[in-house]
Amino acid sequence: MLEVQAMAGKAAAQSRRVETGAAYASPGRRRRGAGAEPRPGRRAGTAVRRRGSGLATARRGAKSGGAGAEARLGWFRQIFSQLPSGVMYFDRDGRLQEANPAARAALGLRTVRQPSARQVFGRAEMEENDGRKLGRATVCLRQALAEGRSWQRKILAYTTPAGERRELGVTLSPLREGSRVGGLLCLLTDLTAIRRLEAELRRRQSLALLGEMAAGIAHEFKNSLATISGYAELVHHEMADAEGREHSQKILQQVQLLSGVTSEFLAFARPLAIEPERVGLGRMLAECIESTRMQRLAAAKFEATGEFPDVWGDELLLQRAFLNLLRNACEAIAETGREGRVRLWSAPAEAGRVNVYIEDSGGGIAPGLQEKVFVPFFTTKPAGLGLGLALAHKFISALDGSLSLARAEAGATTFMVNLRLAKAESAAAQSACRG
């Protein structure tokens, strides 16, 4: 950033000489020509602080003419546009004046025409790295401009205009013009992938501990339930009166319910036996859709569009994962009491991988609950166990894939499954054989 400020300062100094159209002069010294270099002792960074934005200053200078100023402005813009981190300049009124391509990509901005901070950030919240809330980004930006206060290395929980949730690293740095603040630099770094990996690591660690502690307890619990079920069946057959048989039948039903919960938990806790193979994703998804449709969980129409390439994984685990995702989508639609739609499609991901999206038209997921959707036994459904999404997440993660919540709006809740392509696995195997 110091290098950028230095270049901006040189451009600003050159622009001031072009604007005046006169020679540079100081008391007691000879005049310098308009094309002369500034004095060596003059600090380039000072120009940035006095003007607020070297780029904005250079731009004004270039408008007034001068091939040198125009060349410097082009040079500055080229470096500014190629910075890997997002850089934005807000004027003292909080309006966005400049944003490089990295900033526009991070925020999903298509055009930059001096929007206000509210138009740029919307209702996005800033927080500390430990999750403590700091308030809306627009409020923090106004404080930085009004008080000259810097905000270093904060997190911005941001949703793009397309509905994509991102976590951005943010630094707000006021630019001073003498004793007052003349503008503000906002530095952005897209931390979404890193934060997801950190959350995934924490989730796996907690789940591993949970599985080790609870698997033994669940096994003993299941044995006890089997004993209770055996005695309940004896009582049920020996009961002569109808009322007693009804009560014993209810005992058996509750025992079967608890046994099912215990079996699901043991499936979640125990290690998986994985048999990787080439899986026809399109065929498998068609079978999952047909199986879910036959269960009549909701008045839902299923739609699978586009091509679904073959992937590498365990077909049984993938089938169980997608069945849980489709069941979750149908249950979300059923809660609305209306007819809905479940849509599936795929899109290319990074090299050798594919993304599969499952979208439902249910009621969405509240912002405060989105981070908990993959936590075991967390559910908002009265009759739910809270293991469907947790199991799907475990199965897909075990196959070197990932499952994430891509969108959580009402009417368009979308889960994204990232899987390894079968052709990429085959190419890797062939390469290993040649080696």
pLDDT of residue 410: 74
pLDDT digit string (tens) for the chain, length 435 residues: 434 444 444 444 444 443 333 333 333 444 444 444 444 344 433 333 333 345 555 555 545 555 666 777 677 778 888 888 899 989 988 888 888 888 888 888 776 567 888 888 888 888 888 878 888 888 889 888 988 888 888 999 888 887 788 889 999 999 888 888 889 999 998 888 888 888 878 877 776 776 667 666 776 777 788 888 888 888 878 877 888 888 888 888 888 877 777 777 776 666 677 889 999 999 999 999 999 998 888 889 999 998 999 999 999 999 999 999 999 999 989 988 899 999 999 999 888 999 999 999 998 888 888 888 888 777 777 666 677 898 899 899 999 999 999 988 877 899 999 999 997 555 444 443 334
CB distance 49 to 175 below 8 Å: yes
The token duo for 43 is: 């600090």
Q: How many CA atoms lie within 13 A of 46 on its CB side?
A: 6
- Judged on CB neighbours under 10 Å (0-12, 13-18, 19+), 18 is buried
Pair 158, 166: CB distance under 8 Å: yes
Backbone angles phi, psi at 277, to 5 degrees: -160, 175
Residue 269's pLDDT is 67
- d(Cα 18, Cα 71) in Å, to the nearest integer? 13
How far, in Å, CA of 195 to CA of 199, rounded? Answer: 6
Distance CA 193, CA 167 (A): 8
Sequence-ordered list of residues with C-beta below 8 angstroms from that of 45, at least 6 positions apart, any chain? 2, 5, 6, 9
Cα distance between residue 95 and residue 138, in whole Å = 11
Angle at 60 between CA 55 and CA 64, to 5 degrees: 140
* Spatial distance between the Cα atoms of 415 and 30, rounded to a whole number of angstroms: 70
Q: What is the pLDDT of residue 41?
A: 40
Tell me, yes or no, if the pTM score tops 0.75: no
Tell me, letter by letter, the H, E, C secondary structure of the chain: CHHHHHHHHHHHHHHHHHHHCCCECCCCCCCECCCCCCCCCCCHHHHHHHHCCHHHHHHHHHHCCCHHHHHHHHHHHHHHHHCCCEEEEEECCCEEEEECHHHHHHHCCCCCCCCEHHHHHCCCEEECCCCCEEEEHHHHHHHHHHHCCCEEEEEEEEECCCCCEEEEEEEEEEEEECCEEEEEEEEEEECHHHHHHHHHHHHHHHHHHHHHHHHHHHHHHHHHHHHHHHHHHHHHHHCCCHHHHHHHHHHHHHHHHHHHHHHHHHHHHCCCCCCCEEECHHHHHHHHHHHHHHHCCCCEEEEECCCCCCEEECHHHHHHHHHHHHHHHHHHHHHHCCCEEEEEEEEECCCCEEEEEEEECCCCCCHHHHHHCCCCCCCCCCCCCCCHHHHHHHHHHHCCCEEEEEEEECCEEEEEEEEEEHHHHHHHHHHHHHC
In 3D space, the residue among 155, 160, 157, 158 whose CA is nearest the CA of residue 172 turns out to be: 155
Angle of the 192-238 helix axis to the 242-269 helix axis, nearest 10: 150
Two tokens at 318? 């993938």
Size (the chain), residues: 435
